[in-house]
Structure 1
Amino acid sequence: DRAGIGPAGRQPVTPNRLIGAVLTVLAVLLAVGDRLGDPQALALALLPLAAGVGIAWQQAVNGRVRAAAGSAMTATLVNFTVGTAALLVTFAVDLAVRGRPAGAFPDEPWLYLGGPLGIVFIALAAALVRFTGVLLLGLATIAGQIVGAVLLDLVLPTAASHPGLDTLLGAALTMVAVLVAAFGPSRRP
């Protein structure tokens, strides 16, 4: 946002936006703090961190494409066309190196909802980023993922999903962080 890469243009680093970002990082640390002593878990945490940087860039660029084309669906089409091409190249390399997959496609129809949900997410993000900026959209996305994950753990529990007090407090703090960042002084210079 500060560099002006997103479609909302340059946005100043306000105290509320900074506090919101710091509170979000603290919320994540609170929710997973008990696992930070494990070197493997810490190393695996770098992957979502790298993905988050990529998603922020993606949201900014999709917002720019949306602004240039005048349509969130155009940004979504460009995103999925490039993504599909990259996946096809990766699949071709994987086929050449490892051969055909041995397993069959999953039978459960709900497992195929990821693609349509991704299309809706990209279209909404491309449309909203010009109003919210990349930071607030990112914070709200993180909050939504955490709340969604906690709800899934509570509604459809598995042997590994038992959110503890730290996780619930982290989810609540994430929501507070989004509110702090959203309701601060104007984000436009």
Structure 2
Amino acid sequence: MRTLDIVNRAARSLRNAKTRTILTSLAIAVGAFTITISLAAGEGTRQYADTLINSNVNPQALFIVKDPSITEGPASQSPLRVYDENVGSTPTGLALEQMTQEDVDKLLERDDLTNVVPTYQPTVDYVQFEGSDTKFTADVSYYNTTIVTGLSKGGLPAQGTDLADGDIVVPGSYVETLVENDVIANADELIGKQITVTASQAT
């Protein structure tokens, strides 16, 4: 059969089954469109996630702990144990083995780590703000240089850079309480104000 005959027969078949031809064409078009949209959405989501992570968290940061219960999930209450100066307690009363200076020195000797920064979780008794005798209880933690923090007032160093000595970041949620207790009139007054943190322990 000649090529021309094949083409003529195919054209005649399409003309005789117009509905089937239209539906088949629509199905192919919709399928191709759906696949294209799915691939584009997947790639867009991946790029957005990468951008979000890289702009807020240092993807090369590695958190190292000594006590395996931190990652395995500690018991609801620590058992009675012999006192050890290298074991500290969390605010909830859980005892965790702390890293010593010797542990930090071993990490510093590794060639695959570019920077080692010990972090501490203080047990705070109270916090006082300059110009007021009122004592406040608050959760205080170390400044995480691997995370980009949003600010409403003041400024922060670049990601990966620690706060300067004497600097502190105050959560915006504290402003309302401080205003209610006549410590400040607005958030602007917190900038440059001396804050005294009284802590009994740092783990």
The TM-score bracket by the shorter chain reads under 0.3
User: RCO higher in 1 or 2 (8 Å CA, sep ≥ 6)?
Assistant: 1
TM-score by length of 1: 0.24
* Higher relative helix content: 1
